[in-house]
Chains A and B, each alone.
Chain A
Amino acid sequence: MELHVRLVKIWIIFVGVMLVSMVQAVTIANARIVVDINRGHANPLPIAVANLLGDENNIISGGSVNDYGKRISLVVKADLVRSGLFRTVASSAFIKSGNERENLLNPKFDNWKAIGAQALMNGSISVQEDGRLKVEFRLWDVLAGRQMTGFRYFTSPKNWRRIAHLIADAIYQRLTGESGYFDTRIVYVSESGPATHKIKRLAIMDQDGYNHEFLTDGKNLVLTPRFSPTAQEITYLSYNNNNPRVYLYNIDSGKQEILGDFPGMTFAPRFSPDGNKVIMSQAYKGNSDIYVMELTTRKITRLTRNSAIDTSPSYSPDSRYITFNSDRGGSQQIYVMDADGKNIRRISFGKGRYGTPVWSPRGDLIAFTRQYKGKFYIGVMRPDGSGERLLSESYFEEGPTWSPNGRVIMFFRQQPYDKNGRGGETHLWTVDLTGYNEREVITPLEASDPAWSPLIR
């Protein structure tokens, strides 16, 4: 897998170089992707993440308290590095002087400066009488020699990974000025078996791939899960009883229920930002239109009435608008309408087809899938259709979903098959809004249809 990722990167750089040398100032959209994928300009901030200090002789289930401290620091490092905005200073370079515990509140800034760290995280971990972990960390500005932030957390030992993600979020927020996205989960579709009859299961995991769980057993084909704004519920499409309909899944209770009593197939569900409604498509007698259902009253309102395919709806974060894709103009393109279905206007005008529009949690951008000349792209544009930028490209990719801070987009990518029918693997990927830092998200099996949760509260 390592090699595979590296090959992709090399290939991307190669293509980037080719394009740069061939075209200098071409205004077609393809040219923009050159800037985005021509990596190496990023200047990640060097940060030293010290192991949280704990009692080596205090053994609890899963290791010593000090082991837990090391693990938490490792996960913090992994989160920060994966963001592409940070580079961790190797702990082998750390200069030890004096009592480490005493240094926690008075770091020897010159030592950290000497190894090139601009920021330092340190802290401690202990176990309380009730069995819970007590974790403290502080973030230091090495050059200015002062504390930037610090928090204390309490939780059960088996919940230690969340502490690490909360620390990483706090560091990210303090150093970038934007809220983090590490204490989040991904719901997606796990795939296995041959393409002609794939077994698909809903699965959920932490944003970094850990704490993985399957939610369904694979008996029914399931597609397109999406989180509610509380991250406690998922709406998705299930072929239960060979009847494709939109369902709700409660994560805590495991309870599944069909949503509404539609005569036709319902699909492409998504929650409204307040979580009180689910917007979706119904295909009835060969025509797909957009409907919205209020969850408490179960009242259904039809929003589009057109012989074209209207699907993949997504609310703006202020709930005033809905973006969707439609072929009403002759091919699949992106439209925006008012939340009541009025004022429908087309916003995508580039070459090719545009689909799967998803409104950014910040409201300023819409992410989409573009299909042009045998390639697929993930890109973003403003809600009025201006400022289109393509972030990634491949043989096939689609289905963007935003990190809750609107800085990272996750999607799925399928490799082509070779002449012998081998290949075709489908996996999750992330790319930064800048178009840099493309990474594969490791899952136990093949994976598609990711949906990013809001920050867990």
Chain B
Amino acid sequence: MLKKIISAKYWALIGTVLFLSACANTGVKTGVQTPPPVKPAVKKVEKPVVAKPVEKVTTVPLMKNLNTQSSLNAVASGSLVHFAYDRYDLSAVAQAIIKAQVAWLQAHPTVTVTVEGNCDERGTREYNLALGDRRANSVKNYMVALGLDPARIRTISYGKERPLVIGTGKRVWAQNRRSYTRINN
């Protein structure tokens, strides 16, 4: 909690600094660009002065961006881990992806996640709910083994209810047998 407040203050401070520096820059520019007016074209001079800082002000998105899904996905192969048919063990590729997720999560200690377990459509609904739960927990257990606090990881199974890809065939089904690590809002 304290950490959260500190980091929030920290980012707010950066935001303010960036904002001020942006203003300062334009200030310098205008300073340079003000020769004594010869013709009454005052408006032309003022327009760019007003417009420029508006585009550069906000720094808040930068802070959000660091903790967003796209940031995790970028370092951890889309936060997706794939499974073999009716299996929930982790391949070497899967383990590497989870390691990257854990590294990212350890660098972002305020983030909590939900690991979503999914199945392909070639199974019965209720069995697949159980299988999706197995897959999600398989990922969670490996994260915990790598040192991540279990309290930061929730799991949910969607069974075969949320395919990633629509279609028929082995390639489609392989893509749908997956877990996805979603950052909690």
Contact = CB atoms under 8 A, between A and B. Distances in A.
Contact of A286 (B86, B125, B141): B141
B167 A398 contact: no
A170 interface: no
A224 interface: yes
A449 B167 CA distance: 21
Interface stretch (A59-67, A109-117, A194-202): A194-202
A124 interface: no
A369 to B, nearest CB: 5
A123 interface: no
Contacts of B123: 332, 353, 355, 371
Interface in A394-437: 395-396, 398-399, 414, 416-418, 421, 423-424
Interface string B154-166: 0011000111111
A309 B166 contact: no
A223 B168 CA distance: 23
B156 A267 contact: no
Given A267-B129, A286-B88, A288-B129, 10 more contacts: A196-B165, A244-B129, A244-B157, A268-B126, A331-B86, A395-B168, A396-B121, A417-B166, A418-B168, A449-B125
A195 B166 contact: yes
Interface-centre pick from A195, A198, A223, A286 (highest chain B CB count, 10 A): A286
A311 interface: yes
Give the interface size class of chain A.
Answer: 35 or more
Nearest to A421: B166
Nearest to B164: A196
Interface string A196-227: 11101000000000000000000001011000
A34 B81 CA distance: 42
B166 A265 contact: no
Interface of B: 86, 88, 121-127, 129-131, 133-134, 136-138, 141, 156-157, 161-168
Nearest to B139: A286
B145 to A, nearest CB: 14
Contacts of A360: none
B161 A286 contact: no
A406 to B, nearest CB: 22
B164 A281 contact: no
Contacts of B133: 264-265, 283, 286, 288
Interface centre among A244, A356, A396 (most CB of B within 10 A): A244
Given A197-B162, A283-B133, A283-B157, A417 B168 contact: yes
22 contacts: A221-B161, A265-B129, A265-B157, A286-B136, A286-B137, A286-B138, A286-B141, A288-B130, A309-B127, A311-B126, A312-B124, A325-B124, A325-B127, A327-B86, A332-B86, A355-B123, A355-B127, A395-B168, A396-B122, A417-B166, A421-B167, A424-B168
Q: Which of B129, B136, B138, B167 has the most CB of A within 10 A?
A: B129
Contacts of B88: 286
A418 B168 CA distance: 7
A299 interface: no
Given A242-B156, A286-B134, A416-B168, A356 B163 contact: no
A281 B124 contact: no
A4 interface: no
Nearest to A423: B168
A457 interface: no
A281 B130 contact: yes
A194 B167 CA distance: 11
A265 B156 contact: yes
B172 to A, nearest CB: 8
B75 to A, nearest CB: 25
Interface of A: 194-198, 200, 221, 223-224, 237, 242, 244, 264-265, 267-268, 281, 283, 285-288, 309, 311-312, 325, 327, 331-332, 353, 355-356, 369, 371, 395-396, 398-399, 414, 416-418, 421, 423-424, 449
Nearest to A243: B156
A181 B35 CA distance: 95
A416 B166 CA distance: 10
A283 B133 CA distance: 7
Nearest to B172: A417
Contact of B127 (A198, A312, A423): A312
Contacts of A331: 86
Contacts of A283: 129-130, 133-134, 157
Contacts of B157: 244, 265, 283
B167 A224 contact: no
A417 B173 CA distance: 12
A398 B125 contact: yes
A224 B125 contact: yes
B130 A356 contact: no
A125 B13 CA distance: 84
Contacts of A281: 126, 130
Contacts of A332: 86, 123-124, 127
B124 A355 contact: yes
Instruction: List 9 A-B pairs, minimum CB-CB distance, nearest first.
Output: A286-B137, A283-B133, A288-B130, A355-B124, A268-B126, A309-B130, A416-B168, A417-B168, A312-B126
Contacts of A288: 129-130, 133-134
Most buried by A among B130, B136, B141, B168: B130
A197 to B, nearest CB: 7
Contacts of A396: 121-122
Nearest to A325: B127
A422 to B, nearest CB: 9
B125 A309 contact: no
A194 B164 CA distance: 11
Contacts of A224: 125-126
Contacts of A200: 161
Nearest to B88: A286
